[in-house]
Structures are given as C-alpha cells and as structure tokens.
Structure 1
C-alpha cells in the first residue's frame, strides 16, 4: 500500500494519518499491538526512519504507547489529556471544516487555529468550506464567577476588562476566517460570535461534528488591576484546563458517539435558543 506520490505532505505525515484513521475508526482496537516497524515500512513503502517519525507523532497525540521490548500499542483509554493544536490542524485537511467553541475567551482557539489558516493562505490547504462558531459569556450581565475574593460579588470592572480580551481573540478569529472567503481562497467561510447568559465552568470544542475536546476551568485567586487598583478575584484559569478527547465511532450507541452527539445538542440548544450577538 504505497503512499500517494502526488500528496504534498511529507511521507511520515501520510503514514501517521493512515494509522490515526485506523485507530479512530477502531480498525486498530484499543490495546491492540501495531505491526512492527519493518512490517509498516514494507506495507507503506517507506524507510524505517519514516515509520519511526510517524509513530512519534501518534505518541505525542496520545494515541499510542511504546512498551520496552514489546512494541507499540494503541492506547487503552479513549478519554485522555490531549493538546488541541495537532487535532485542529488535521481537521482542516477535510473538505468541510466546522469548529464550535464554548468557553470563556477563545484565546486557546485563537492560537491553535492560526497555523491551518496560514496554510490556506499559502495554498497548502484548500477546504471547500469553513464554519466557526464561538459561544462566550455575556459581559453586559452580572456574573456569579469570576467574582471578587472578599465578598464573592460581581465586578463590572472585571467584566469590562474580560470583554476586551474576548473581543481581541474572537474578533481575530472571525476576521481571519471571513477574510478567506472574501479573498476567494475558500468557497464558503463564515465565523460568528454569540454571547450566552451563563458563564461556562468548562471549555468545549466540537470539531467536524465527530470529535469533542472538553476541559474544566480551575477556579483560582488572581490579582487583577481594575480602575488602577489591585483587586483579588476568583478567576477561571483557562490555560490550566486539561482537555480530554472523545471521538464518535462506527457504533452510534457507543459511549464516545453518544458523548459527541450530546455535546453537539448542548451547543446547538444554547446557540439557537438563548445566545445573542456578542457586544461589549
């Protein structure tokens, strides 16, 4: 099964993509041992070093584990701490890309989505459509959290500061995605931000309708300068949120498939029913 010579991606990425697809579709089951390096090298018609690079990519993504003297195995757990960036970049290789985000500021998404958008501008990726929806808390209404440390009271000054941060990150994502459509680099490109009346205690990403990333926001004390004074706040620390991944599989009634489906339904219920256009 030789690789496609016309594929512009490096051979190790092509091998990693093929193995990843087999793992996520359960052709390679959790706990199953992968073929040996020489077997994979012969199967894909590549050098052993190329196979080693591909395995390293999958190991970094948390999909496989190496056991000394035994080989490489598909990871047993389907819910695991992961990094968003490589999965998001892979999602943009599909013809139709959708990213739904619910969380506090969109800062992580802003950083993770930059590279695939740059690849589209450079002509290295060419999806037919991109849809990005961002659901963030409404800064115009009082919040239960974040709150002032001394009395757990809402802070209008903190909400105003947070609104600026949210505008900066979500605005950059919206502008970058919509620009791709305006330039004709993507046939259909749309990004939109809406505000929810509730502050989420977690962040959620639904990617291409079949992959979900979920992580809780730790609540920690954070001294913030508000109106020229240091103000202790109980804040939601998004950078400390550990993401867990869930992939829908061929069985629509499996735990993973149901998790993805319910995440999509939850997002749609807020987006369609109570979310409003975002404004500071």
Structure 2
C-alpha cells in the first residue's frame, strides 16, 4: 500500500488515518498488535520517523498503547477510560519494574498488583527487580478531606481512620513485594512509603517510567460511626475514580510523552522535597 500522491496531508497523517480507520472498523480489535515499525515502513513506503509520528498521533488519541520492546497494541477499551490491572501485568513482563503512586491510600494498587505478583510467585512472570514508591497524605495534620460536613471542621478521629486505611494497604503492598526477594524470586524488591502535608484530591500512577494513569477522586457525603460516635463527613471515593492513560512514545514532543515526563518530574520533585517517612 502506497500513499495517495494527490493527498495534500503530511505523510504521517495519511498513515495515522489509514491505521485509525482499520481500528475503528474492527480490522484491528481491542488488544491486537499492530504491524511492527519495519513492516509499516515497507507497507506505506515511508521513513521510519514518519511511522513513529503516526503512531504517536494514535497514542495521543488514546487508540493505541506502546509497550517497550513489544510493539503497539490497540487499547482494550478504545471507547472508554481504562483499568489499571492489565497494564500492571504487562509492566511486570519487563526486567525492571517501577511503580510510583501518589494518592489517598493505594487501595486500588494493592488490589491490582496482586495478580502480577502471584504470577511472579508461580514463575509465569520473571522480572529481576521491583521498585515501588508510595506518596500518601500526612494524616497527622488537618486535611481537606475527610472533614466534617458541619462547618468543614477538622476531626482527628476521621484523620486517624484515613491514616489507618493508608497504612493497611501500603503495608500490604510492601509485604507482598518485598517477600519476593526474600524468597529469591527476584533479585531486588523494595517499597518506599513517604507522606506529605497535602490533601490527596487525585491519584497518579507512573509505571515503568513510560505510562501514566491519572484520575480525580469524587467526593461524597457519608454518615457512619467513627471512634464510637456517629459522624457526617465528606470523604473521597477512590474506587469511583476514572483513570485516564497516557503513554510515552518515540517522539519526546508528543502529548503522551510530555504528560509522562511532566508526571514523573512532578512526582520526583515532591518526593525529594516536601515528602518524608511516616513516623512510627
């Protein structure tokens, strides 16, 4: 297949248009792998850089994801925001796995990471190293949420409850990951946990430095017994947060690449400046 010489659009736009049509019409289904870069170069008769730019455009549109060393794949659900679990499992196919999380409690991560960890235990996934950094809010200081509905007053019991939720899930992740090194299943496994004096109103995951997942926490009013007293308060609903996915590609100026770069820069800057280890 060659490009139309009468088409005034740049070559990369013609290539992305052809691939987009194939995805939309079902020639490539959810999860299918696109042809490799060299195959697309041969197919369209264009330069490697042209193919890379076309794929970056499709990636920015949310139609495909690119996995380092494996190729480009049609998203599992191109019509709606994605889930974290399948991307985590794909990340564990790499030799060095890195996960950075910033958010309220890491509860979703705790659940999503169990399946790939189980596959490491069974030998179906064989990474050499796993490094996880968890950036959580400091529940010992007043927070924006949880907060009492009545005049938005701070409540130490609510903060203690939130802190315990975070400790439970972060501790579960730490144990599940680090035991793999103790068992000799990976060469190194480390989970670091830090807190900062900022309320978590969004969640961010950065996976293997190449994918970023971002979601806003919806707020809701709840009434429940906390510390033997019924309280009505505003709380976040982490499981209801819709995640949006951005993937870095060959073009560092592409939207997905810039989003991942800036997310990593933000996380690192907070981690190295105002974040600190939670006191016992």
Same fold (TM over 0.5): yes
Structure 1: give runs of 5+ residues left out of the alignment. Answer: 1-25, 44-61, 65-72
Counterpart residue number, 2:120 = 120
Report the secondary structure of 2:175's partner residue.
helix
Q: Identify the range of structure 1 (237-246 vs 226-235) with the bigger mean alpha-carbon deviation.
A: 226-235
Partner of 1:242: 242
Distance 1:79 1:251 in 2: 25
Measured against aligned partners, the alpha-carbon deviations of 1:154-190 in whole angstroms (never above 9, x if no partner) come to 1100111111111110000001111111111101111
Contact 2:146 2:162 in 1 (8 A): no
Question: Taking structure 1 as the reference length, what is the TM-score of the superposition?
Answer: 0.74
Aligned to 1:154: 154
Q: Does 2:20 correspond to 1:31?
A: yes
1:79 Cα offset (Å): 10
Q: Relative to 1, partners in 2 of residues 1:120 and 1:32: Cα closer, same or farther, differing over 3 Å?
A: same
Superposed CA deviations along residues 24-80 of structure 1, whole A, max 9, x for unmatched, are xx999862415948xx9xx9xxxxxxxxxxxxxxxxxx857xxxxxxxx957x9895
Structure 2 residue ranges without an equivalent (≥5): 1-14, 36-61, 65-72
Alignment check: 8 A CA contact 1:97 1:131 kept? yes
Cα distance in structure 2, aligned partners of 1:117 and 1:221:
35
Aligned to 1:230: 230
Against the structure 1 CA distance between its residues 119 and 27, is the aligned structure 2 distance closer, same or farther, given a 3 Å change threshold? farther
How many aligned positions are there? Answer: 226
Residues 222 and 29 of structure 1, relative CA distance in 2, 3 Å threshold: farther
- Partner of residue 207, structure 1: 207
| Superposed CA RMSD | 2.9
Runs of at least 4 residues off by over 2 Å: 26-30, 34-37, 77-80
Q: Match of 2:220, SS?
A: strand
